A and B are shown apart, each in its own frame.
Chain A
Amino acid sequence: MDVAVSKKKWVKIKKYFPFYLMMLPAVIYLIINNYMPLSGIILAFEEYSVKGGIYGSKLVGFDNFKYLLVTKDAWIITRNTILYNLAFIILGTVFSIFIAVMLNEVPGKRMKKIYQTVTLYPYLISIVVTAYLVNSFLSTETGFINKAILGSFGVENISWYSEPKNWPVIIVVVYLWKNFGYHTILYFSTLIGIDRGYYEAAALDGASRWQQTKYISLPFLKPTIITLTLLSIGRIFYSDFGLFYQVPMNSGALYDVTQTIDTYVYRGLMQLGDIGMSTAAGLYQSVVGFVLVLGANFAVKKISADDALF
């Protein structure tokens, strides 16, 4: 019995050995780049002193987390971070899929090529430069919108950077503009990997384009959609710093609608340079995202086990 079992195990390992070999370089890198520094998380519980170093500084329990949770702003920054991320996930997914499906329908390889390249262009510019470009639209005195559009309709100039109410829309629009190409590419590459045969067969059976999309394209996209959404949920407490700090030009009047956990930490700690407190913030964001993803992944496992992340 023992001999049989160990022989089986040996055969199994021999069978899968090449795969483990394939995975080795990445695993080594992740250990070096991600896992070795991980012990630095202890900084979140320390009052850092260069003399003591990372592992020898005084432990202060949860003191470093207080500034995030006890403050009056805690609710606002958490609410902003979560709501924006939800909007990004939902709108981003819908919009990217829409464009990917459209792309797939474009007749002619050359046009497909051109359109597809263009979708990635916004992704190329750094967010800081994007902030300047947004400023060229929204600047009170010289901005495109005030000068060219509102001016010609006789509407009074809007002081964009002082009025919070427009900004949720502005931020979502800028986010979509900059990032949709990224997701569209991923959805699109799945779509063109789908065997044309399916579509031809469906067309023969009299299915309309919409039906073809609904019953062939979308199901094929499901795994990618689920994967991307799960990954986004994991980062739901994080935000793109450039988007929420640079694009609103760091305008105080807009804090209530543009302050996220990341910007709050940055602004608050700018004077203090306290790495214990900033590590604590990172840990806080990680733990929440982690718990949420575990929950979501568990739910997905129940529905379609293959698509779960792990």
Chain B
Amino acid sequence: MVSTKKGFYVFVHIVMIAMVIICLFPFLIMIMSSVTAENTLITNGYSAFPEKFGLEAFQYLFNDPFMILRAYSVTVLVTVPGTLLSLIITTLFAYGLSIKHLPYRNAISFFLFFTMLFNGGTVPSYMIWTQIFHIKNTMAALIFPRLLVFAFYVIIMRTYFQTNIPEEIKEAAQIDGAGEFTVLRKVILPMAIPIIVSIAMMVGISYWNDWINGLYYVTDSKLFSIQQILNRMIQDARFLTTNTSGVETLAAGIVPNNGLKMAMAATGAIPIMILLPFFQKYYVKGLTLGAVKG
């Protein structure tokens, strides 16, 4: 009995460690490539074990540190408010949808789900956001279109509310005379911390990584996020290889080289890799709360 228990834990650890290696190895390549000398990159391609180190890529990037700093602040100023706003709206919506006998519940669920499947296309959306709401070249353009409410997350949250929050708890609170908002705030939310944190992480990541809103709605380089800069760089590199207007030689002076692409990618990914573990704190909190609940 004891040996199987230990054997099981060994198994678990092996699986987890294998997973960690598989997940992290490509990151290693990315980071190592960003500090490899460019010539070596061209000869040897990306590698986790560079032949020669070279900080040219980062030198070029941070040549104008102000630009990078500004890009970071754009990213943060979009991600934080966007995520908070999204969380609030999404949670409220999901909770409402989870109420068992809510009239017209099915119709509203359908209303929600329909948005996941059908969309009118880029041009109509663009026209609405720019001509009715005038968000072109504003921070709002990076927060509101496409990303604020994901039907997917609403549905996941709703499922969680339905599964993990027993009716009795709600009824008990209501008997005590609490209004619905109070019930939500004082009773439900603390129990839903794991899912809220999960969704927060994912919404945060989608805001952090998004560059499509910027591509459509922003032409002012002062409003470029980190990912926006990275992706425009990559588009330039690709453009030079597919365009036959003779652009190749003549604009090649500013081809983003390989090291630069990786350096840019690292610049975008590393902050969030560092921040992610801090979210885990709240996960653990949810764990303890769950245990005490019984």
Contacts and interface: CB of A to CB of B under 8 A. Distances in A.
B276 A279 contact: no
A136 B46 contact: yes
A92 interface: no
B180 interface: yes
The size bracket of the interface on A is: 35 or more
Interface string B236-272: 0000000000000000000000100110010011001
A136 B159 contact: no
Interface in B45-81: 45-48
B123 A40 contact: yes
B179 A43 contact: no
Interface in B74-118: 88-90, 92-93, 95-97, 99, 102-103, 106, 108-113, 115-118
Interface in A61-89: none
Given A16-B103, A26-B93, A128-B231, A121 B262 contact: no
Interface in A91-118: 99, 102-103, 105-107, 109, 111-118
B179 A18 contact: yes
A119 B19 contact: yes
B146 to A, nearest CB: 7
Interface string B161-196: 011100000000000000111001000000100110
Q: Which 3 A-B pairs have the closest CB atoms?
A: A40-B124, A142-B45, A40-B120
A231 B155 contact: yes
A106 to B, nearest CB: 6
A175 interface: no
A268 interface: no
Contact of B16 (A115, A227, A231, A289): A115
Given A116-B283, A121-B273, A125-B30, A132 B163 contact: no
B58 to A, nearest CB: 16
Contacts of A34: 115, 119
B119 A38 contact: yes
A223 B234 contact: no
A152 interface: no
A35 B111 CA distance: 10
Contacts of A18: 179-181
A115 B22 CA distance: 12
A139 interface: yes
Contacts of B113: 234, 293, 309-310
B17 to A, nearest CB: 9
B103 A121 contact: no
A115 B47 CA distance: 25
Nearest to B294: A197
A144 B47 contact: yes
A43 to B, nearest CB: 6
Contacts of B164: 190, 193-194
B280 A113 contact: yes
A158 B174 CA distance: 67
A30 interface: yes
B215 interface: no
Contacts of A243: none
B24 interface: yes
A294 to B, nearest CB: 10
A227 B159 contact: yes
Contacts of A106: 12-13, 16
Nearest to A283: B118
Interface string B8-30: 11001101100110111011011
A220 B108 CA distance: 25
Given A54-B127, A192-B290, 19 more contacts: A16-B103, A27-B93, A30-B115, A30-B149, A105-B8, A118-B20, A125-B269, A126-B230, A126-B231, A130-B26, A136-B29, A139-B45, A182-B202, A189-B197, A190-B195, A193-B163, A193-B290, A290-B118, A310-B110
Contacts of A111: 16
A123 interface: yes
Contacts of A228: 156
B116 A22 contact: no
Given A132-B261, A189-B160, A234-B116, A22 B93 contact: yes
A196 B287 CA distance: 10
Interface string A225-241: 00110010011000000
B294 A196 contact: yes
Contacts of A164: none
A190 B273 contact: no
